Amino acid sequence: MNISEIKAKLANISETDKEGLCQFVDEFSFDERSGAIAIVNQAKKKIKLYEDEVARSTKMRVFENKYIEQGYQAICGIDEVGRGPLAGPVVACAVILPQDDMILYLNDSKQLSAKKREVLYDEIINRAVSYGIGIVSEARIDEINILQATYEAMRMAVSNLSVTPDLLLNDAVKIPGIDVKQVPIVKGDTLSASIAAASIVAKVTRDRMMQAYDEIYPGYDFASNMGYGSAKHIEALKTLGQTPIHRKSFIGNFVHKQ
């Protein structure tokens, strides 16, 4: 093989295919050409990154494993997105992951690229035992305040599960009105695979909604700012006024309430 062909072969091996990467290294490790050596070193680096990710992902299951050992079966992670924006709903997600199937690269959704979130979204909804979404509108947020709206979205997400959970792992909060054991975990979306999965599904769900709203209400840059108070968004509020999806209780400093 020439160097370009060797490079192309490595590019076709998935970052999670450790066996394939190891076979690649074995096949070309005796090639003394400098280009081949460099590509083999890239493959070795991919193997190390994969092993590091497996170790990190294993640590992300420490809470789940702790409660599995105590006899809990349907362990559900819960998280929300959209507490701070000036426009759009708050969205919560509840996810029950399988006990014997580790999804790699789960993390706080804010620490992942949009592309990676989309890939993981598909993996999560396809491999989860069950997941539920809760969406509470901007009008409801104005009516009951953002904290209560967040709790409402979380309760809705749990109620939309097809499997009844026997334990909830929550990102920092305890949800009122739910008769299931709850474990609040500070920064849970970086420490629990289940909460991280919930944060990703909630984030992708809400982002898609805001991208659709950008088509309906152009000028506010919703597709980029997702309803948060970016400079362009605030300027649009001042010049164009509010839209039906703006939270009236959040935008008093920028427009006159209607």
Share of the chain above pLDDT 70, in %: 99
Residue with tokens 């979204």: 121
- What mean pLDDT is predicted for residues 193-218? 98
What's residue 201's pLDDT?
98
> Is residue 187 left, alpha or beta, with left meaning phi > 0 and alpha meaning psi from -120 to 50?
left
Q: What is the pTM of this model?
A: 0.92
Q: What angle do CA 66, 72, 77 make, to 5 degrees?
A: 75
Pairing of strands 75-81, 90-96: antiparallel
Dihedral pair phi/psi, residue 87, rounded to 5°: -140, 155
pLDDT in tens, 14-43: 999 999 999 999 999 999 999 999 999 999
pLDDT in tens, 163-182: 999 999 999 999 999 999 99
- What mean pLDDT is predicted for residues 97-101? 93
Nearest to 205 by CA among 169, 156, 139: 156
Q: What is the mean pLDDT of the chain?
A: 96
Residues 75, 196 contacting (CB under 8 angstroms): no
What's residue 256's pLDDT?
57
pLDDT band at 107 (very low <50, low <70, confident <90, very high): very high
Over 80: is that where the pLDDT of 257 sits? no
Share of the chain above pLDDT 90, in %: 96
pLDDT in tens, 130-149: 999 999 999 999 999 999 99
Separation of alpha carbons 222 and 229, rounded Å: 10
Over 70: is that where the pLDDT of 258 sits? no
For each of the domains in the chain, give its residue range(s) and CATH number, in order of start: 3-59 (no CATH), 62-203 (3.30.420.10)
